[in-house]
Amino acid sequence: MPNEDFDWKKNDFTKLEIFFGKIEKVLEEFAEKHNLMISKYYHQFPSWDLMFRQPRGGVAKIEISKEGEDEVRIRASWWIDQAEPRIRYLYSSEGEMSSLEHKMIRDLLHKTFNRMLAWDKSFLKPIEIPCVRKGEVTKDKIKKDEERYPIPKID
């Protein structure tokens, strides 16, 4: 858990574990079926991410965010980083809401995943990455970062 904050862990973490515990099985099964890496609470956001190498390049994720006490939003993002100039090409969907009912979540995950696989690079929009110093990001570092994500299994 990057940027760990003790108070967050002590107070909110338990509540999030209870919430995501209700849908953990369906998320884990989907991730296993499609060879996706699960990342929980990145930067302490109330979400789980299912991450993979996008077959067209870069990294993609399906984000499952807690929305209230009995809903999640499922959205998708895809990015390709470039070293010089420091630019990230990014596309993110607005996502869709779901109850915590497992079949509804599973269906929406499949729909989102299949949509993402159909995206092409024309969807990506460039954004600068100002927080990275010149020379900190190289082609080799980008490649190494991408390679830590799994290649998805496609139905």
| pLDDT tens for each residue of 85-108 | 788 999 999 999 999 999 999 999
The residue with greater pLDDT, 7 or 47, is: 47
SS3 content of the chain, % helix, strand, coil (to 5): 40, 30, 30
pLDDT of residue 118: 95
Asked whether residue 65 carries a pLDDT value surpassing 80, the answer given is yes
Q: Which domain holds residue 45?
A: 6-147
Q: How many domains does the chain have?
A: 1
- Cα 39 from chain centroid (whole Å): 8
Place of tokens 């077959």: 55
Tell whether 23 is covered by a domain: yes
Query: Which is higher by pLDDT, 13 or 85?
Result: 13
Helices (H) and strands (E) in the chain, counts: 5, 7
Helix (H) or strand (E) holding 29: helix 24-34
Q: What is the reported pLDDT for 89?
A: 93
Whether 85 is covered by a domain: the verdict is yes
60 belongs to a structural domain:
yes
SS3 6: helix
Would you state the pLDDT for residue 31? 98
79 occurs within a structural domain: yes
Residue 67 lies in a domain: yes
Residue 154: inside a domain, yes or no? Answer: no
- Cα Rg of the chain (Å, integer): 16
Q: Which CA distances in Å does 62 have to 20, 117, 137?
A: 15, 12, 25
The answer to whether position 155 is within a domain reads no
